[in-house]
Structure formats: structure tokens, C-alpha cells
């Protein structure tokens, strides 16, 4: 807990202010995400945190590299964050999977660690091994 870390003088890399999740059981499989669920989860997380998505400067995406998964995630992010290409503030998009692969059950926490360290050190880690980015990324 944040209050314990502050009391003990622990280094705080980031604070998770809100979370959101959504599943209606209607997807063809766990490997086939649904747009509605992803949009709902994002809206819930930002509402829970009291943060306006327009102020976000870094998104650590799931980024599995699958046609359906990436297309759905990009559409969900565009729905929630809007078209920000060429606008200020800019919003960086990345995924830790380009660096370490898909760690399956540890993928979420690996992304959190990457994002927390990026914020702490004020760096934007590169997305490596991405020679042909999805055209929907702009």
C-alpha cells in the first residue's frame, strides 16, 4: 500500500490509481478479444482513477502481435483516446513483448513494471523488432 511505502521510506516507482476489467463470455475464445469489452475496461479504469484519457502520455499495450488481437486493441484505444496523431500532448504506445516475448501469465505484470520504470526514469523504451507496424497505428 502507498501509505506503508511512504511511511517506510520505500522508493515508489508508480501508483496504480484505477483498474478496469470486462468479460461477457461471448468471445469466440480468450485469444479473440471483443472491442466492446476492451473499450468498457478502459473507460472503467480511467473513470475509477479520475484521469482524463486525453492527458495520458504513455500507453503500455497488450500488443500480442496477432491480427485480431492487435486490430481490436488499436480500435479500442482509438475509441477511448481519440485520434491524437500530430496533436499535443503526444501519446507514446509500446509493449514489453517486443523486448521479452509473451510471458503469458506474467505478461500483465511485465508491462506494469516496464511502464513504471519508464515513468520513474522519464524514458520511452523503444518497441523493438517492429519492422512492419500495423498501418492502423498511423
Largest CA distance in the chain: 47
pLDDT of residue 135: 73
- Is 33's pLDDT higher than 70? yes
As a whole number of angstroms, the distance between CA 117 and CA 109 comes to 12
- Is 9's pLDDT higher than 70? yes
Q: In angstroms, what CA-CA distances link 7 with 2, 3, 12, 47?
A: 9, 6, 11, 28
Q: Which residue has the higher pLDDT, 67 or 4?
A: 4
- The architecture in CATH of the region 2-124 reads 3-Layer(aba) Sandwich (3.40)
The domain spans of the chain are: 2-124
Of 8-22, 35-49, 121-135, least confident by mean pLDDT is: 121-135
Give residue-wise pLDDT tens across range 72-113: 999 999 899 887 666 666 788 899 999 999 999 999 999 999
Amino acid at each position: 500500500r502507498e501509505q506503508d511505502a511512504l511511511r517506510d521510506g520505500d522508493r515508489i516507482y508508480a501508483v496504480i490509481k484505477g483498474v478496469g476489467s470486462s468479460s461477457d463470455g461471448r468471445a469466440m475464445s480468450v485469444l479473440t478479444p471483443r472491442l466492446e469489452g476492451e473499450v468498457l475496461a478502459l473507460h472503467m479504469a480511467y473513470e475509477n482513477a479520475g484521469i482524463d484519457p486525453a492527458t495520458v502520455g504513455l500507453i503500455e499495450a497488450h500488443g500480442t502481435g496477432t491480427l485480431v488481437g492487435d486490430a481490436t486493441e488499436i480500435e479500442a484505444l482509438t475509441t477511448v483516446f481519440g485520434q491524437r496523431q500530430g496533436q499535443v500532448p503526444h501519446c507514446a504506445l509500446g509493449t514489453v513483448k517486443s523486448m521479452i516475448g509473451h510471458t503469458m501469465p506474467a505478461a500483465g505484470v511485465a508491462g506494469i513494471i516496464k511502464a513504471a520504470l519508464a515513468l520513474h526514469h522519464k524514458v520511452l523504451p523503444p518497441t523493438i523488432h517492429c519492422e512492419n507496424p500495423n498501418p492502423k497505428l498511423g
